[in-house]
């Protein structure tokens, strides 16, 4: 304060004002403090999550060590637990789902952002995005009643024509890796489509105009000028979808057949980490059994975190390339 | 000359083929949703009845009965989750947008993104490890905790993004009038963004109502009427899951009817939010 304090003390109005200011200041401090606690709750919850998962999974991890990840037996009777087949199932279903969904999602996004008139693009993107809102248990139910019979037909067709390939060998159950991958593809399609569409829309129209002015067709413009420009966004959309596919539980556990085997065939029943945990949880009657399931959850958690971090690094590097070019 | 024409035709054909394929892909995506809805609506509507919502499950193998216990369970658990998830999420979002220190802001933002990205089944295990073991049993409260953990990052991030859209002029005008920061935030910034906040909360409710995986480890599900959230409860999603994997035709019918109701609720929320936020957002 530049003014002598005696003046302020003698002036009742000024005294009142400074008192009000002090009260206001405490109210602001209090307000900020309450909000701070609320915001801090998010990282605290995250930390708590990691700690409690480690705590629950530790007994199994210390009992089996690295064998928990590399071993292939899951036997509750002899208390022998390892999750390699579930890791395989998780990665296999997610990869096949990406192979199915990425071309379709990319094509749909190109159509919606570049080719379709507005009156078609709007309702179609609305429908595709609503797909993301459907609860996964309903998609699983639909898959069981509708997709499995279709997949069985497709499998027997593939088996009789391309059965010499290991991935198309074996009996056509319908239920199994392929059916689970199809459902996952349905579930990640809206993510890929929506994110890619936004990315393509953000591409400056000068890119397209330059290409068209050179006499390129629409498709040449899209494939040579628009898609490369939005490449990092498309990669990001794919990885986002991969993260979702890895952790999806309900639809997969209904339809995958829950067989703890590694088979080279897409037709074979399999299991995923999430499906293993969901279906065996109620049967876990000993602490070690339960801990093994929790450790499986920890492995799943680790895989999704690795995928997300890899995605960030990839996008960051692609972004840096785009800038330096 | 002819060479040029051949190349030119090849390019045109490639162009048409690629365009058609893209259109087919888009129609396939939309078609999947329509097929799914058609199946659920046709088969679910056939099994829909008043009894489904007023009665408890009949003994297995008998026809009739309903899932009233699951409807009330879903309402209670999602309600309890809203009770802690929405205020905390909005508070955290307000902090991130209005008063965040750069360090805590980044940490909270990063954690929210990580929490939003982890599989919901992992959140279920978290709820089991933290609440179920502490309470000594499965309960609706544990389920509400897990659902809240799923809703929290969604609400926090949508709140932050919505509040950032509020023009700085409004804040400055209020502060220039001598109104303290907390009043400015609560009486000027938040009301201006209220439509966005409600949108975020509604989307989170729709998401929670459709979640199953986190509830398997926390509320477990049961077959009886129970409104006491300290005990295991049934929910719509858990009941659909259970009925789907049991080999009884009658239960499959009821699962489809329950799916129809759940689908309508979730889609209704999403469509409403869509329509309400249309003018501001690029279609």
Assign 3-class secondary structure to A63-117. Answer: HHCCHHHHCCCEECCCCEECCHHHHHHHHHHHHHHHHHHHHHHHHHHHHHHHHCC
B242 reaches A (C-beta below 8 A): no
Is residue B27 domain-shared with residue B135, that is, in the same domain? Answer: no
Is residue B86 domain-shared with residue B11, that is, in the same domain? Answer: no
> pLDDT confidence of A70, banded at 50, 70, 90?
confident
Is residue A194 domain-shared with residue A245, that is, in the same domain? Answer: yes
Is residue B65 domain-shared with residue B39, that is, in the same domain? Answer: no
CA atoms of A251 and A303, how far apart (whole Å) = 20
**Assigned domain for B126 exists:** yes
> pLDDT confidence of A19, banded at 50, 70, 90?
low
Mean pLDDT of A207-217: 90
Least confident among A292-301, B31-40, B244-253 = B244-253
DSSP state, residue B220: B
Is residue A233 domain-shared with residue A319, that is, in the same domain? Answer: yes
B262 to A297: CB separation less than 8 angstroms, yes or no: no
Is residue B114 domain-shared with residue B243, that is, in the same domain? Answer: yes
The percent helix, strand, coil of chain B (3-state, each to 5) is: 75, 0, 20
Q: Give the pLDDT of residue B278.
A: 59
**Assigned domain for A3 exists:** no
Q: Give the pLDDT of residue B133.
A: 86
DSSP state, residue B98: I
Q: Which class for B127: exposed (0-12), middle (13-18), buried (19 or more C-beta within 10 A)?
A: buried
Q: Work out the mean pLDDT of chain B and round it to a whole number.
A: 85
Residue A235 pLDDT greater than 70, yes or no:
yes
Residue from the list B28, B125, B256 with its beta carbon closest to the beta carbon of A53: B125
Closest approach of A243 to chain B, Cα-based (Å)? 7
pLDDT (tens digit per residue) in B97-120 = 888 788 888 888 888 888 888 888
**Assigned domain for B190 exists:** yes
Q: Chain B contacts of A127, Cβ < 8 Å?
A: 29-30, 33-34
**Assigned domain for A7 exists:** no
Share of chain B above pLDDT 70, in %: 94
A50 reaches B (C-beta below 8 A): no
CA atoms of A309 and B2, how far apart (whole Å) = 53
Is residue A58 domain-shared with residue A121, that is, in the same domain? Answer: no
Is residue A148 domain-shared with residue A241, that is, in the same domain? Answer: yes
**Assigned domain for A78 exists:** yes
pLDDT (tens digit per residue) in B247-274 = 787 888 888 888 998 999 889 988 888 8
Q: Which domain holds residue A58?
A: 12-64
Closest CA to B148 of B78, B236, B221: B78
Q: What total of structural domains would you count in chain B?
A: 2
pLDDT (tens digit per residue) in A244-257 = 888 888 888 888 88
A304 to B118: CB separation less than 8 angstroms, yes or no: yes
Is residue A51 domain-shared with residue A72, that is, in the same domain? Answer: no
Is residue A41 domain-shared with residue A150, that is, in the same domain? Answer: no
Is residue B189 domain-shared with residue B149, that is, in the same domain? Answer: yes
A24 reaches B (C-beta below 8 A): yes
C-alpha angle A285/B212/B49, rounded to 5°?
Answer: 115
Phi/psi for B226 (5° steps) reads -150, 125
Residue A3 pLDDT greater than 50, yes or no:
no
A217 to B118: CB separation less than 8 angstroms, yes or no: no
Q: What total of structural domains would you count in chain A?
A: 2
Q: Give the pLDDT of residue B83.
A: 92
B240 to A45: CB separation less than 8 angstroms, yes or no: no
Q: Chain B contacts of A272, Cβ < 8 Å?
A: none
Is residue B32 domain-shared with residue B150, that is, in the same domain? Answer: no
Residue A141 maps to which CATH number? 1.10.3720.10
**Assigned domain for A4 exists:** no
Q: Which of residues A43, A64, A85 is at a domain's end? A: A64
B120 reaches A (C-beta below 8 A): yes
Is residue A284 domain-shared with residue A147, that is, in the same domain? Answer: yes
**Assigned domain for B141 exists:** yes
Q: Which domain holds residue B25?
A: 2-47
pLDDT (tens digit per residue) in A86-136 = 888 899 899 999 999 999 999 999 999 989 898 988 888 888 888 888 888
C-alpha angle A111/A114/A117, rounded to 5°?
Answer: 80
CA atoms of A141 and B64, how far apart (whole Å) = 20
Is residue A196 domain-shared with residue A91, that is, in the same domain? Answer: yes
> pLDDT confidence of B152, banded at 50, 70, 90?
very high
Is residue B266 domain-shared with residue B181, that is, in the same domain? Answer: yes
> pLDDT confidence of A325, banded at 50, 70, 90?
very low
Is residue A271 domain-shared with residue A291, that is, in the same domain? Answer: yes
Is residue B135 domain-shared with residue B41, that is, in the same domain? Answer: no
**Assigned domain for A274 exists:** yes
What is the ipTM for the molecules in this complex? 0.85
**Assigned domain for B282 exists:** no
Is residue B189 domain-shared with residue B241, that is, in the same domain? Answer: yes
pLDDT (tens digit per residue) in B56-67 = 777 766 677 778
Is residue B78 domain-shared with residue B147, that is, in the same domain? Answer: yes
**Assigned domain for B161 exists:** yes
**Assigned domain for A115 exists:** yes
pTM > 0.90: yes or no:
no
**Assigned domain for A261 exists:** yes
Closest approach of A67 to chain B, Cα-based (Å)? 22
């Amino acid at each position: 304060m530049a003014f002598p304090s005696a003046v302020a003390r003698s002036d009742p109005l000024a005294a009142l004002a400074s008192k009000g200011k002090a009260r206001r200041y405490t109210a602001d401090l209090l307000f900020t403090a309450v909000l701070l606690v609320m915001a801090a709750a998010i990282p605290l919850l995250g930390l708590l999550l990691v700690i409690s998962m480690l705590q629950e999974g530790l007994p199994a991890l210390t009992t089996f060590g690295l064998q928990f990840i590399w071993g292939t037996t899951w036997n509750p009777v002899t208390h022998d637990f390892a999750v390699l087949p579930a890791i395989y199932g998780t990665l296999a279903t997610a990869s096949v789902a990406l192979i199915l969904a990425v071309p379709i999602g990319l094509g749909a996004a190109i159509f919606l952002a570049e080719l379709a008139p507005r009156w078609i693009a709007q309702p179609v993107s609305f429908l595709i995005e609503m797909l993301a809102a459907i609860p996964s248990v309903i998609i699983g139910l639909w898959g069981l009643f509708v997709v499995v019979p279709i997949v069985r037909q497709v499998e027997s067709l593939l088996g009789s024509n391309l059965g010499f390939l290991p991935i198309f060998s074996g009996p056509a159950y319908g239920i199994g890796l392929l059916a689970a991958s199809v459902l996952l593809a349905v579930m990640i399609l809206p993510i890929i489509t929506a994110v890619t569409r936004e990315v393509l829309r953000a591409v400056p129209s000068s890119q397209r105009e330059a290409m068209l002015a050179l006499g390129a067709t629409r498709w040449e413009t899209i494939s040579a000028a628009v898609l490369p420009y939005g490449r990092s966004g498309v990669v990001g959309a794919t990885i986002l979808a991969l993260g979702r596919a890895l952790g999806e539980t309900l639809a997969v556990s209904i339809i995958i057949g829950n067989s703890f085997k590694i088979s080279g065939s897409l037709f074979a029943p399999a299991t995923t980490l999430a499906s293993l945990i969901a279906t065996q949880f109620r049967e876990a009657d000993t602490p070690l059994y339960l801990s093994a399931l929790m450790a499986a959850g920890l492995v799943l958690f680790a895989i999704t975190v690795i995928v997300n971090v890899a995605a960030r690094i990839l996008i960051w590097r692609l972004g840096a390339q785009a800038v330096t070019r | 000359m002819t060479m040029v024409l051949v190349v030119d035709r090849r390019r045109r054909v490639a162009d048409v083929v690629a365009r058609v394929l893209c259109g087919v892909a888009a129609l396939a995506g939309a078609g999947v949703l329509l097929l799914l809805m058609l199946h659920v609506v046709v088969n679910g509507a056939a099994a829909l009845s008043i009894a489904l919502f007023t009665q408890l499950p009949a003994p297995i193998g008998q026809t009739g009965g309903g899932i009233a216990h699951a409807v009330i369970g879903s309402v209670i658990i999602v309600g309890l989750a809203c009770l802690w998830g929405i205020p905390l999420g909005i508070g955290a979002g307000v902090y991130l947008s209005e008063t965040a220190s750069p360090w805590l802001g980044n940490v909270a933002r990063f954690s929210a993104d990580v929490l939003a990205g982890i599989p919901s089944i992992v959140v279920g295990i978290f709820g089991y490890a933290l609440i179920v073991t502490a309470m000594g049993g499965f309960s609706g409260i544990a389920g509400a905790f897990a659902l809240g953990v799923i809703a929290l990052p969604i609400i926090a991030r949508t709140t932050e993004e919505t509040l950032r859209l509020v023009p700085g002029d409004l804040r400055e005008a209020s502060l220039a009038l001598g109104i303290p920061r907390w009043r400015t935030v609560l009486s000027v910034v938040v009301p201006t963004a209220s439509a966005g906040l409600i949108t975020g909360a509604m989307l989170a409710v729709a998401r929670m109502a459709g979640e199953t995986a986190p509830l398997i480890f926390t509320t477990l599900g049961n077959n009886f009427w129970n409104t006491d959230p300290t005990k295991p409860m049934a929910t719509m999603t858990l009941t659909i899951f259970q009925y789907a994997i049991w080999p009884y035709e009658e239960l499959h019918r009821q699962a489809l009817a329950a799916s129809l109701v759940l689908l309508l609720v979730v889609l209704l929320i999403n469509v409403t939010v869509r329509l309400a936020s249309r003018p501001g957002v690029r279609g």
